[in-house]
A and B are shown apart, each in its own frame.
Chain A
């Protein structure tokens, strides 16, 4: 007689179990965190579509991937980098800091500092039980941990290319921005094969610190990306998170921001493009735990082919967050009858003296604009390209300046 399993097992649960069995024993500065998260995953069900937050996001393709950790990656296919930019290449098995002179103001966190600060951002510390986060923490054996002091003049670039390797790779980043620190960071995630990249970024900003973070993620139809960004802000700090994603079979993007005592400035810009049978799901959450915070959020999606785009934008304004000024806009472009877009603002407002605007539009390319361009000799294809580029450029132009070398617009529209 077979005993019934403790948890309701899905293909993804089985996959996760096989992955956990394949992992090497926890070691290094992350050992405790790895061990804890692995234990947690033993009992935590993998996301399934009966859960509201995963209703439109089917992670089943991940269960098709090889359940093994990729220990080291090849050199990324990256454009040459200028002297003005500091590039760290992740996952090659080498110490990413080796041979790199960090610009003034940036210093790697010591093992003791990592132990002390990892997983301590408010959301991570309070919301145990997020499968993508636990998965990352169970696997990641290396962390890019940086302390930022003062203004860092040179932008930083973190590059990780999963290539065509089969398996799972985890990227973990921790940024501690001290008072008045300023950093511009472009994180590039690439893949060209059947693999899963798990990204976990934590950032803590002290007062008057400023972070511009760009995520440029170009994948492969068989590749999956789980990206969880957790940012906490003290008053008068300023964060801009900009993401541009395309090409992945499945993406789940989870930017989470919390203004610990309000009074900070947060900007979110995202663009996701899906075609063929791809799925891109952004679940964002911004919480104001104090008064007078601002949010400016724009989420854009382009859905072509059989692609599916999902956006769920939570904004939490509790009673203590008076005089919050938040605006959220979701704009989606539907390029095919078979594509699908689900978009949902989710404003939870308790405070009474606030400005919270939200809006969502789903449209096709405007026929009158197409006709106007055509009437000037521009072919229908070229006219559609012009309009599409214009739609995308609104987010792309907000990426950190170093993104240009990666030709984001050309890559984004490749094959559309």
Chain B
């Protein structure tokens, strides 16, 4: 839902970043306001996942230029855990398996870290179990998954549902979902996008990174951006995603070439 009066949650200006001295982001500009859903598309290697990792504070990525303001404050000096606690969420493309750490305990520690930051009371084991069971319904997840190790032995779809479950528990202000639709069958895709839709409201925002139009049929974006060579080369509405689906990315190359000329 677009409202130009809505507060700006995240403002990315001329962001450049590299990994192992290899520049990946070359001047990204993006503003996301409360209540908005943005889709970020683009070829493999165009820098979408890098942008998500940089925003989440992955230590392997170095910001070389530009700025990111989160609700008006500089985001970049913050550690990944601090970013999460103030309401930034990254749904991983490849959620990490952590043998031996119980999913339930992980979710509880994580939820309480966020709640403390919000000035809310920590949930004890019993209160948390009630809370998590209620949220499980959102992603139609079997409670048995709570007793297993974090993501260990989960199928691709189960891992993605576990990501959305975490999002439902943490109630972030800005959720970046990196290819949450990859590896999902049609039913799982419907469940996952249903969860995302239910969590979206006028106070928060979502940045969906995806390759496919089919996700955008289920989660309607307000804006669609196309990334190439480490920057956003074009922005539009849903029609842009449809255009991409029909025409592919070749025209993006021409646009890039034109950009290089100038």
Contacts and interface: CB of A to CB of B under 8 A. Distances in A.
Q: Which of A375, A382, A383 has the most chain B CB atoms closer than 10 A to its own CB?
A: A375
A368 B100 CA distance: 15
B98 interface: yes
A383 B106 CA distance: 9
Q: Which of B81, B90, B95 has the most chain A CB atoms closer than 10 A to its own CB?
A: B81
A383 B57 CA distance: 16
B84 interface: yes
B106 A377 contact: no
A368 B170 contact: no
Interface string B79-98: 11101110000101001101
Contacts, number: 73
B99 A380 contact: no
Nearest to A392: B100
Interface in B64-111: 79-81, 83-85, 90, 92, 95-96, 98-101, 105-106, 109-110
A368 B90 CA distance: 14
A377 B100 contact: no
A377 B81 contact: yes
Contacts of A375: 56-57, 80-81, 83-84, 90, 92
Contacts of B84: 374-377
Interface residues of A, number: 23
B98 A372 contact: yes
A415 interface: no
Interface string A324-368: 000000000000000000000000000000000000000000111
B113 interface: yes
A379 interface: yes
B85 A377 contact: yes
Given A368-B96, A371-B80, A376 B101 contact: no
Nearest to B109: A378
**Interface size bucket, B side?**
20 to 34
Contacts of B90: 375
Nearest to A368: B96
B119 to A, nearest CB: 14
Contact of B81 (A369, A378, A389, A390): A378
Contacts of B56: 375
Interface string B100-142: 1100011001100110010000000000000000000000000
Contacts of A373: 98, 106, 110
Given A367-B59, A371-B58, A386-B106, A376 B166 contact: yes
A376 B108 CA distance: 11
A284 to B, nearest CB: 23
A372 B92 contact: yes
Contacts of B57: 374-375
Contacts of B110: 373, 376-378
Interface string B166-207: 100010000000000000000000000000000000000000
Contacts of A386: 98, 101, 105-106, 109
Interface of A: 366-369, 371-380, 382-383, 386-387, 389-391, 393-394
**7 smallest A-B Cβ distances: which pairs?**
A390-B100, A377-B113, A377-B84, A376-B110, A372-B96, A374-B80, A374-B81
20 contacts: A366-B96, A372-B96, A374-B57, A374-B81, A375-B57, A375-B80, A375-B83, A375-B92, A376-B113, A377-B81, A377-B114, A377-B117, A377-B170, A379-B113, A380-B79, A386-B98, A386-B105, A389-B101, A390-B149, A391-B100
